Amino acid sequence: MKELVIISGKGGTGKTSVVAAFAALSQDMVLCDADVDAADLHLIMDPAIKEEHDFTGGHTAIIDQERCTQCGLCRELCRWDAISEDFVVDSIECEGCGVCYYFCPERAIDFPENTCGQWFISDTRFGPMVHARLGIAEENSGKLVTLVRQEAKKVAETAGKDLIITDGPPGVGCPVIASIGGASAVLVVAEPTVSGQHDMERVVQLASHFRVPALLCVNKFDLNLEKTEGIEALAKAKGVEFMGRVPFDPVFTKAMVHGKSVVEFDGNSSATLALNAVWGNVNDYLG
């Protein structure tokens, strides 16, 4: 089984639109939305939820005011300044380390597990989809990413699908690391801007750090041809295989407004033709 993870480093380069287009072109895969922090793929895929599960991860300390003698040990030990002078835990600051809970001499601190999101198995018009929703201001997004990827694998095995297409998160931190480990390849969707190039370099470095082969596609390439060529040259120097260019095309936004992939919305648009070529190259690469 192959897993292709679409990432970008920089946000807003078109990752999710590319994933949706690939789903429409393949129609024989399992979709996985690993951008659990700001998941958008469902807005195009309109998934019919078949299974819904709570995601628990981490704990938060709660001080019982009845039992607390205000000795102050917890405030002394807490490295997050999460406990106020009147001994109330700020649940947003609380790291869930449990040090206060462990050392409280009065056993006045509870340490319940958090429900910090939900994950779903759904049907879409292109195949099964595993996705999630992390609660706002919650932690443990990396764990949730790992979970949805594992579940996507199970779904693919059960459904006899050979390919998983995963929509990855932006950045290079914990959720991205969780989304690329063990993947067959990552496709980096870059844009020809100074920040697009900077972020592409860092995410390619990340892929290489975790020994995942990286592929490149430049979106909105015609916004700055010189930068596009620069990015392609840089990718080549780093051993990143080039999959193709996609032009700047307002059809991306129009398709999104209609809840469709670009491929479905306008099969003859310049973006669709380019994405077809990129998809062909990616398929050849994956074999």
Partner 1 sequence: MIISVASGKGGTGKTTVATNLAASLGEAVQFLDCDVEQPNAHLFLNPEIEDSEIVTVPVPNVDEEKCTLCGKCAEICQFKAIVVIGETVLPFHELCHSCGGCVEVCPEKAISETSREIGMLEKGHCNGIEFIYGSLRVGEAMSPPLIRKVRSFTDIGKITIIDAPPGTSCPVIAAMKGADFVLLVTEPTPFGLHDLKLAVGAVRILGIPHGLVINRSDIGDDEVKRYAQEENIPILMEVPFDRRIAESYSRGKLIVEAMPEWREKFLTLYEQIRQSVTGS
Single out the segment in contact with partner 1 by CB under 8 A; choices: 7-15, 118-126, 152-160, 263-271: 7-15
Residues 6+ apart with CB under 8 A from 231: 190, 192, 196, 197, 200, 216, 218
Single out the segment in contact with partner 1 by CB under 8 A; choices: 121-129, 200-208, 266-274, 275-283: 200-208
Q: x/- site string to partner 1, residues 219 to 258, per CB under 8 A?
A: ----xx--x--------------------x-x--x--xx-
First to last CA, the chain: 11
Determine what percent of the chain falls in helix, strand and coil, rounding each to the nearest 5.
Answer: 40, 25, 35
Phi then psi for residue 86, to 5 deg, are: -95, 25
Q: How far is the CB of 38 from partner 1 (least distance, A)?
A: 4
Q: How far is the CB of 95 from partner 1 (least distance, A)?
A: 6
State yes or no: residue 40 binds partner 1 (CB under 8 A).
yes
> Per the structure block, which two tokens stand in for 228?
């596009």
If DSSP codes are grouped into helix, strand and coil, which group holds residue 273? helix
If the CB atoms of residues 90 and 284 are measured against partner 1, the closer one turns out to be 90
Cβ count near 98 (within 10 Å): 15
Among residues 68, 174, 234, 251, which is the contact residue for partner 1, using CB under 8 A?
Answer: 174
Q: How far is the CB of 270 from partner 1 (least distance, A)?
A: 16
Write the DSSP symbol of residue 175.
Answer: H
> Is 22 within 8 Å of 168 (Cβ atoms)?
no
Closest alpha carbon to 274 in 201, 197, 203, 222: 222
If the CB atoms of residues 39 and 155 are measured against partner 1, the closer one turns out to be 39
Q: x/- site string to partner 1, residues 114 to 153, per CB under 8 A?
A: --------------------x-xxxx-xx-----------
State yes or no: residue 92 binds partner 1 (CB under 8 A).
yes
Q: How far is the CB of 158 from partner 1 (least distance, A)?
A: 29
State yes or no: residue 71 binds partner 1 (CB under 8 A).
no
Residues 6+ apart with CB under 8 A from 100: 61, 63, 73, 74, 77, 78, 83, 89, 109
Residue type, 46: D
Residue with tokens 């597990």: 113
Distance CA 109, CA 75 (A): 12
Residue type, 87: F
Among residues 62, 77, 234, 273, which is the contact residue for partner 1, using CB under 8 A?
Answer: 77
Residue ranges that bind partner 1, judged by CB under 8 A: 9-13, 16, 37-38, 40, 43, 58-59, 77, 79, 92-93, 95-99, 102-103, 134, 136-139, 141-142, 169-177, 191-196, 198-199, 202, 205-206, 209-210, 223-224, 227, 248, 250, 253, 256-257, 259
